[in-house]
């Protein structure tokens, strides 16, 4: 393997080599921790004073947080399916699945755990896998328990043990009566306890805090719903039909949404995140106890955000920032400590970034842009706009300052000045003084639709 690139990157990041003087001669381990449906604003260290996340706070303090990482959107109601396909393949929305409404990643698309496996890494996949089983088999040389699906009761998780044949016959599925976050964290600890003769990738995908929101009782006790603040953009109902006002996520609570109901939902949501944080803490402690922390890069992300009361919505089937943005934190050797970046990026920019951090070549099938220039301080951003899409009912374009959301079925637009209105509460689209900005963003959106093969403009291609 070619690790000179890794050495150069560590030097660019200002790595101090003392007791770990062998860092430049060894490829780093990668621990990738992925939560499910977690908003960006659910980490104490990133600005939410109400929530308790001491271990994620530690990652943020010891690492580098990207505060404007976006899921590009979805072709189906289960947004996590294309989101995870994009994260794994480093490809944009309409090129990460085929057919577009399936869970299947095209076999010609390189997957980043698969590339690390080819480079000699031991690769272990634990937890939720919402894409095709063939893609899982390509990625991992070991792993389990693995949950092939979207959601389940957290204390009754239908899982498979690792199957080296990659078939995962349904008769081998079994129910584990352990809370999902604890189940997957314990499997990660079992992997970390082992001696490894090669560098490793440990991929742990939790199902929390996805509903059903059923936190353990001692964590529920940490949050009083009556004292849980509402989102600043809370509304009882969305002001118009966005094309997704019904469906499983939106029907979890009746309309109009009451303050009491949203406060209770948020309290349960926060309690599940705090419990998840505790389980992540177990993994971070195990890295230290087994002398692996000094050469392990830990990456924490979620697949997208969630409305949970914002704009009168509950789910993630919308293009507001609260649902499109997700946490993204890097921590470990060579990663600057306590740094933040507001540079625009996609979650699928992870693939080339991880390759750069490990000194591996980036496959030609990857569309993402490496965030290494931001980590090294050589750039403040790698993108100047973010495209968003949800099925055939919503499109968006976002720059550092402005955001346009367009609803083609009803020919309606929303325009937000994010510098003055970060919570997207004041629609400026009808104000004459913003007509030029609106026209510019419409043109920018049309250009991005062409760039990303939006099937609304032309037949999709594989």
User: Would residue 369 count as lying in a domain?
Assistant: yes
Q: Quick check: 262 pLDDT over 50? A: yes
Domain boundary among 370, 386, 402: 386
How do residues 419-448 score in pLDDT, each as one tens digit?
999 999 999 999 999 999 999 999 999 999
Same domain, yes or no, for 156 and 227?
yes
Report the 3 state secondary structure along 388-432. Answer: EEECCCEEEEECCCEEEEEECCCCEEEEEECCCCCCCCCCCCCCH
Residue 291: exposed, middle, or buried by beta-carbon count in 10 A (0-12, 13-18, 19+)? exposed
Same domain, yes or no, for 354 and 272?
yes
Distance between CA atoms of residues 312 and 389, nearest Å: 20
How do residues 32-57 score in pLDDT, each as one tens digit?
999 999 999 999 999 999 999 999 99
Same domain, yes or no, for 311 and 447?
no
CATH of the domain at 145: 3.40.720.10
User: Would residue 457 count as lying in a domain?
Assistant: no
Same domain, yes or no, for 276 and 421?
no
Domain boundary among 386, 405, 430: 386
User: Would residue 460 count as lying in a domain?
Assistant: no
Mean pLDDT of the residues in the chain = 94
CATH of the domain at 391: 3.30.1120.10
Which of 11-25, 101-115, 403-417, 419-433 shows the lowest mean pLDDT across its residues?
A: 11-25
Same domain, yes or no, for 144 and 170?
yes
Query: What residues make up the domain containing 447?
Result: 387-451
The pTM of the full predicted model, rounded to 2 decimals, is 0.95
Mean pLDDT of 128-145: 98
pLDDT at 275: 98
- Output the CA–CA distances (angstroms, integers) from residue 246 to 243, 253, 396, 445, in the order listed: 8, 11, 21, 26
User: Would residue 461 count as lying in a domain?
Assistant: no
pLDDT at 20: 33
Count CB atoms within 10 A of the CB of residue 363.
18
User: For a pLDDT cut of 70, what percent of the chain falls above it?
Assistant: 94
pLDDT band, very low/low/confident/very high, at 25 (cuts 50, 70, 90) = low
How do residues 61-98 score in pLDDT, each as one tens digit?
999 999 999 999 999 999 999 999 999 999 999 999 99
Per the CB < 8 A criterion, the answer to whether 127 and 109 are in contact is no
User: Would residue 349 count as lying in a domain?
Assistant: yes
Residue 125: exposed, middle, or buried by beta-carbon count in 10 A (0-12, 13-18, 19+)? buried
Q: Quick check: 14 pLDDT over 80? A: no
Q: Quick check: 1 pLDDT over 50? A: no
How do residues 284-333 score in pLDDT, each as one tens digit?
999 999 999 999 999 999 999 999 999 999 999 999 999 999 999 999 99
pLDDT at 457: 83
Same domain, yes or no, for 150 and 176?
yes
Domain boundary among 350, 368, 386: 386
How do residues 337-360 score in pLDDT, each as one tens digit?
999 999 999 999 999 999 999 999
User: Would residue 459 count as lying in a domain?
Assistant: no
User: Would residue 326 count as lying in a domain?
Assistant: yes
Length of the chain: 462
User: For a pLDDT cut of 90, what percent of the chain falls above it?
Assistant: 93
pLDDT at 26: 79
Same domain, yes or no, for 108 and 180?
yes
Same domain, yes or no, for 228 and 252?
yes
Same domain, yes or no, for 247 and 295?
yes
pLDDT band, very low/low/confident/very high, at 10 (cuts 50, 70, 90) = very low
Same domain, yes or no, for 379 and 428?
no
Per the CB < 8 A criterion, the answer to whether 301 and 327 are in contact is yes
User: Would residue 99 count as lying in a domain?
Assistant: yes
Specify the number of domains making up the chain: 2
Angle 250-254-255 from CA coordinates, rounded to 5°: 90
Distance between CA atoms of residues 108 and 97, nearest Å: 11
pLDDT at 22: 39
Same domain, yes or no, for 355 and 391?
no
Which distant-in-sequence residues (6+ apart) come within 8 Å of 416 by Cβ?
402, 403, 405, 424, 426, 427, 428
Same domain, yes or no, for 340 and 406?
no
């Amino acid at each position: 393997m070619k690790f000179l690139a890794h050495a150069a990157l560590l030097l660019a990041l200002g790595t101090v080599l003392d007791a770990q003087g062998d860092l430049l001669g060894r490829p780093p381990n990668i621990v990738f921790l992925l939560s499910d449906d977690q908003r960006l604003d659910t980490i104490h260290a990133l600005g939410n004073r109400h929530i308790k996340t001491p271990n994620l706070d530690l990652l943020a303090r010891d690492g580098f947080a990207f505060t404007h990482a976006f899921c590009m959107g979805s072709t189906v109601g289960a947004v996590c399916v294309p989101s995870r396909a994009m994260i794994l393949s480093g490809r944009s929305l309409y090129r990460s699945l085929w057919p577009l409404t399936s869970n299947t990643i095209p076999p010609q698309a390189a997957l980043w755990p698969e590339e690390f496996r080819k480079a000699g890494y031991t690769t272990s996949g634990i937890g939720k896998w919402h894409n095709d089983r063939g893609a899982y088999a390509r990625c991992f040389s070991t792993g389990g328990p693995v949950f092939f699906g979207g959601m389940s009761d957290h204390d009754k998780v239908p899982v498979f043990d690792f199957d080296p044949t990659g078939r995962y016959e349904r008769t081998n599925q079994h129910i584990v009566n352990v809370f999902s976050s604890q189940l997957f964290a314990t499997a990660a600890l079992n992997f970390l306890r082992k001696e490894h003769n090669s560098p490793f990738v440990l991929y742990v995908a939790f199902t929390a805090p996805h509903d059903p929101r059923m936190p353990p009782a001692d964590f529920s006790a940490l949050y009083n719903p009556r004292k849980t603040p509402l989102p600043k953009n809370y509304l009882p109902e969305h002001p118009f039909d966005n094309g997704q006002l019904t469906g499983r996520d939106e029907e979890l609570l009746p309309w109009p949404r009451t303050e009491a109901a949203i406060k209770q939902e948020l309290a349960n949501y926060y309690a599940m995140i705090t419990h998840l944080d505790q389980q992540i803490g177990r993994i971070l402690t195990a890295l230290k106890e087994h002398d692996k922390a000094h050469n392990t890069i830990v990456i924490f992300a979620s697949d997208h955000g969630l409305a949970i009361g914002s704009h009168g919505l509950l789910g993630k089937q919308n293009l507001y920032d609260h649902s499109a943005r997700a946490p993204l934190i890097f921590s470990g050797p060579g990663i600057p400590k306590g740094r933040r970046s507001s540079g625009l990026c996609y979650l699928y920019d992870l693939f080339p970034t991880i390759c750069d951090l490990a000194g591996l070549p980036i496959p030609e099938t990857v569309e993402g842009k490496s965030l290494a220039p931001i980590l090294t301080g050589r750039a403040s951003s790698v993108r100047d706009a973010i495209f968003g899409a949800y099925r055939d009912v919503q499109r968006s374009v976002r720059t550092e300052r402005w955001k346009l959301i367009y609803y083609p079925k009803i020919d309606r637009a929303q325009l937000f000045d994010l510098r003055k209105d970060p919570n997207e509460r004041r629609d400026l689209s009808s104000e004459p003084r913003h007509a030029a900005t609106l026209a510019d963003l419409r043109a920018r959106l049309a250009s991005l639709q062409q760039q990303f093969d939006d099937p609304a403009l032309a037949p999709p291609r594989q």
